């Protein structure tokens, strides 16, 4: 679901709402769980930690955790697990907590993942896979119908690739040197740039006047300069509008974004180009829908 602007919006929303709160207990759904780290390690890493901040790295949401949370208040005995038949992990001594004073909780939302700040009495949505109970009485819930999302913990999380809004033009240009893959595929490669997904790749290529099938290595310096500026422009505008709500995307407050109203090619197959009226084409590149104007993009 979410690309850089949506993840940025979600991370900012979470940061403003849960920074300073303390994770008191964690519940994880049963296998197959969308976990990249072992469940006991996730539980041990999160519990009794204070949330020092929440930020975005590529398409990942990173909760920065620090020691100093109050000792875990045990749940009332007999309280049922949120979802019938699933294991309830509690703070325990079986798995030693990391020795470092800091750690991170990493969430990747995949296609359909959501992180919601809820009250305990709010109905547990279907496909809820994790719940972190906070000292304030609220809960952070991870809901993900398609299970492409992933949870993990780290001591010093590192993501590959460059942040598109931080990378300099020269480095940006060098990323595509000698690559025979279509520029669309290269933009989606998170090891090059991190955070660009299908919508923003298409929108950026339209603004830069470049067809998605063009080989990355065939782009001129001028092409790459225009693409660099287009990517930055599109992402900044989208962040300002709270991201794109295409089907069911909402941020952690349940608010929709509005950048979908600015889409010029994505999802507009057969509709007239907003610049030249030529019908927008849709082709499949690397298994992903790709939209472009055959007149405006060369």
Partner DNA sequence: ACTATGTCCTGCGAGC
Partner DNA sequence: TGCTCGCAGGACATAG
Active-site annotation holds for 41: no
CB 130 within 8 A of CB 82: no
Distances in Å between the Cα of 44 and the Cα atoms of 81, 100, 205, 275 are: 18, 13, 44, 55
- In the complex, what is the shortest distance from the CB of residue 215 to DNA, in angstroms, rounded to a whole number? 8
- Give the footprint of DNA on residues 157-186 (CB under 7 A): 178-182, 185-186
What does the alpha-carbon distance between residue 49 and residue 68 come to, in Å, rounded to a whole number? 6
Active-site annotation holds for 222: no
- In the complex, what is the shortest distance from the CB of residue 109 to DNA, in angstroms, rounded to a whole number? 8
Indicate whether 1 belongs to the interface with DNA (CB under 7 A): yes
Residue from 248, 254, 272, 295 binding DNA (CB under 7 A): 248
Active-site annotation holds for 139: no
Q: Residue 180 burial (CB < 10 Å; 0-12/13-18/19+)? A: exposed
Indicate whether 13 belongs to the interface with DNA (CB under 7 A): no
Active-site annotation holds for 2: yes
Tokens of 19: 């920074």
Residue from 17, 49, 59, 211 binding DNA (CB under 7 A): 59
Binding mask 18-57 for DNA (x = CB under 7 A): --------------x-------------------------
- Measured from the CB atom, is 9 or 48 closer to DNA? 9
Residue from 105, 172, 249, 292 binding DNA (CB under 7 A): 249
Indicate whether 242 belongs to the interface with DNA (CB under 7 A): no
Phi, psi of 24 (to 5 degrees): -95, -35
Segment lying near DNA (by CB under 7 A), choices 75-83, 89-97, 203-211, 285-293: 285-293
| Count of C-beta atoms within a 10 Å radius of residue 166 | 8
DSSP conformation class of 89: -
**Residue count at the site for DNA (CB under 7 A)?**
42
What kind and span of H or E run contains 188? helix 183-188
- In the complex, what is the shortest distance from the CB of residue 264 to DNA, in angstroms, rounded to a whole number? 15
- In the complex, what is the shortest distance from the CB of residue 2 to DNA, in angstroms, rounded to a whole number? 6
| Count of C-beta atoms within a 10 Å radius of residue 94 | 7
Cα 274 off chain centre by: 29
What does the alpha-carbon distance between residue 127 and residue 125 come to, in Å, rounded to a whole number? 6
Segment lying near DNA (by CB under 7 A), choices 70-78, 135-143, 165-173, 283-291: 283-291
What does the alpha-carbon distance between residue 264 and residue 201 come to, in Å, rounded to a whole number? 12
Residue from 54, 106, 199, 234 binding DNA (CB under 7 A): 199
| Crossing angle of helices 221-240 and 4-18, rounded to 10° | 40
- Measured from the CB atom, is 69 or 195 closer to DNA? 195
- Give the footprint of DNA on residues 67-96 (CB under 7 A): none
Q: Residue 77 burial (CB < 10 Å; 0-12/13-18/19+)? A: exposed
Indicate whether 6 belongs to the interface with DNA (CB under 7 A): yes
Indicate whether 153 belongs to the interface with DNA (CB under 7 A): no
Omega of the bond leading into 32 within 30 degrees of 0 (cis): yes
DSSP 3-state of 222: helix
Catalytic residue ranges: 2-3, 59, 288
Residues that bind DNA (CB under 7 A): 1-3, 6, 32, 58-59, 108, 110-112, 126-127, 145-148, 178-182, 185-186, 188, 190, 197-199, 216, 243-249, 260, 286-289
């Amino acid at each position: 679901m979410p690309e850089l602007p949506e993840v940025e919006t979600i991370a900012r929303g979470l940061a403003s709402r849960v920074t300073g709160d303390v994770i008191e207990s964690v519940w994880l759904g049963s296998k197959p769980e969308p976990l990249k780290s072992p469940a006991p390690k996730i539980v041990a890493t999160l519990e009794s930690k204070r949330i020092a901040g929440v930020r975005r790295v590529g398409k990942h949401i990173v909760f920065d955790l620090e020691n100093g949370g109050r000792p875990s208040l045990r749940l009332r005995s007999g309280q049922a697990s949120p979802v019938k038949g699933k294991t309830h992990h509690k703070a325990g001594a079986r798995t030693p907590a990391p020795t470092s004073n800091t750690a991170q909780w990493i969430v990747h939302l995949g296609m359909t993942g959501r992180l919601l700040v809820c009250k305990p009495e709010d109905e547990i949505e279907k496909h809820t896979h994790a719940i972190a109970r906070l000292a304030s009485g609220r809960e952070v819930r991870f809901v993900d119908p398609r299970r492409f999302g992933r949870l993990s913990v780290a001591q010093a999380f590192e993501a590959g690739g460059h942040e598109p809004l931080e990378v300099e033009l020269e480095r940006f240009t060098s990323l595509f040197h000698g690559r025979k893959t279509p520029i669309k595929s290269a933009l989606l490669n998170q090891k090059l740039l991190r955070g660009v997904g299908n919508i923003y790749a298409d929108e950026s290529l339209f603004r830069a006047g470049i067809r998605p099938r063009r080989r990355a290595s065939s782009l001129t310096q001028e092409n790459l300069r225009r693409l660099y500026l287009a990517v930055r422009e599109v992402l900044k505008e989208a962040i300002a509008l709270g991201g794109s709500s295409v089907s069911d995307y909402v941020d952690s407050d349940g608010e929709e974004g509005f950048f979908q109203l600015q889409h010029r090619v994505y999802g507009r197959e057969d509709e007239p180009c907003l610049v030249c009226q030529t019908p927008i084409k849709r082709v499949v590149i690397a298994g992903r829908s790709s939209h472009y104007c055959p007149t405006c993009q060369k």
